[in-house]
Amino acid sequence: MRNLSSLKKEFLRKWIKGLRKYNSQKKNMNLLERKKAIKLSADLAMASTKDKTTLWRKALFANTSTKIDDEQDMSTTSSTPQKKVIRKNSTNSYPLRKRITGRRKILRRNHTKERVEASFIAMRLVKKRTRKLKSLLPGGKFMDDSCLVDETLDYIESLKAQVEVMRCLVTSSELFINQP
Amino acid sequence: MEQQPTGTIHALDSVQFNEEIQGIMIPAPAPENASSFTALLELPPTQAVELLHLPDCDGTDSGRLSCCHVSVNQKPYLQNSSNGNLTFPTNAALIERAAKFSVFAGENTSPGEVRLFPAVSGLNLESVKNEPQETDSNPCSTQECVSDPAVENKNQRNVKRKEREKKAKPSSKKSKSVADETSGDGEKLPYVHVRVRRGQATDSHSLAERARREKINARMKLLQELVPGCDKISGTALVLDEIINHVQTLQRQVEILSMKLAAVNPRIDFNLDRLLASDGSSLMDSNLPSMVTPLMWPEIPLNINRPHYQQQWQLDAFHQPLWGREEDNHHFMTPENSLLSYDSPANSASLHSNQLKMEL
Write down the pLDDT at residue A100.
Answer: 56
> Domain for residue A146, yes or no?
yes
- Report pLDDT digits (tens) over B161-215: 444 444 444 444 444 444 444 444 445 555 545 566 677 777 888 999 999 989 9
> Domain for residue A38, yes or no?
yes
> Domain for residue A155, yes or no?
yes
Least confident of A111-125, B260-274, B318-332: B318-332
Which positions in chain A touch B240 (Cβ < 8 Å)?
126, 129-130, 133
3-state secondary structure chain B: CCHHHHHHHHHHHHHHHHHHHHHHHCCCCCCCCHHHHHHHHHCCHHHHHHHHHHHHCCCCHHHHHHHHHHHHHHHHHCCCCCCCCCCCCCCHHHHHHHHHHHHHHHHCCHHHHHHHHHHHHHHHHHHHHHHHHCCCCHHHHHHHHHHHHHHHHHHHHHHHHHHHHHHHCCCCEEEECCHHHHCCCCCCCCCEEEEEECCCCCCHHHHHHHHHHHHHHHHHHHHHHHCCCCCCCCCHHHHHHHHHHHHHHHHHHHHHHHHHHHHHCCCCCCCCHHHHHCCCCCHHHHHHHHHHHHHHCCHHHHHHCCHHHHHHHHHHHCHHHHHCCCCCCCCCCCHHHHHHHHHHHHHHHHHHHHHHHHHC
Write down the pLDDT at residue A143.
Answer: 82
> Domain for residue A136, yes or no?
yes
Q: Which of A129, A143, A160 to mutate to test the interface with B (most CBs of B within 10 A)?
A: A129
What is the mean predicted confidence (pLDDT) over B252-258?
A: 89
- Nearest neighbour of A129 by CB, restricted to B237, B259, B345: B237
Write down the pLDDT at residue B249.
Answer: 94
Does the pLDDT at position B137 exceed 60?
A: no
> Domain for residue A43, yes or no?
yes
Domain span holding position A24:
4-79+129-178
Which positions in chain B touch A156 (Cβ < 8 Å)?
223, 226-227, 243, 246-247, 250
> Domain for residue A122, yes or no?
no
Write down the pLDDT at residue B176.
Answer: 41
Write down the pLDDT at residue B250.
Answer: 92
The domain tally of chain A equals: 1
Q: Enumerate residue ranges in chain A where pLDDT < 70.
A: 1-3, 22-29, 50-53, 71, 74-112, 179-180
Does the pLDDT at position B100 exceed 60?
A: no
Q: Which of residues 151-180 of A touch B (CB under 8 A)?
A: 152-153, 155-157, 159-160, 162-163, 166-177, 179-180
Q: B252 pLDDT band (50/70/90 cuts)?
A: very high
> Domain for residue A134, yes or no?
yes
Write down the pLDDT at residue A68.
Answer: 74
Write down the pLDDT at residue B289.
Answer: 46
Question: Would the ipTM clear 0.90, i.e. be above it?
Answer: no
Write down the pLDDT at residue A49.
Answer: 74
Q: Which of B246, B259, B351 to mutate to test the interface with A (most CBs of A within 10 A)?
A: B259
Counting one residue from A and one from B, how many pairs have CB atoms under 8 Å apart?
161
pTM, rounded to two decimals: 0.46
> Domain for residue A94, yes or no?
no
Write down the pLDDT at residue A82.
Answer: 54
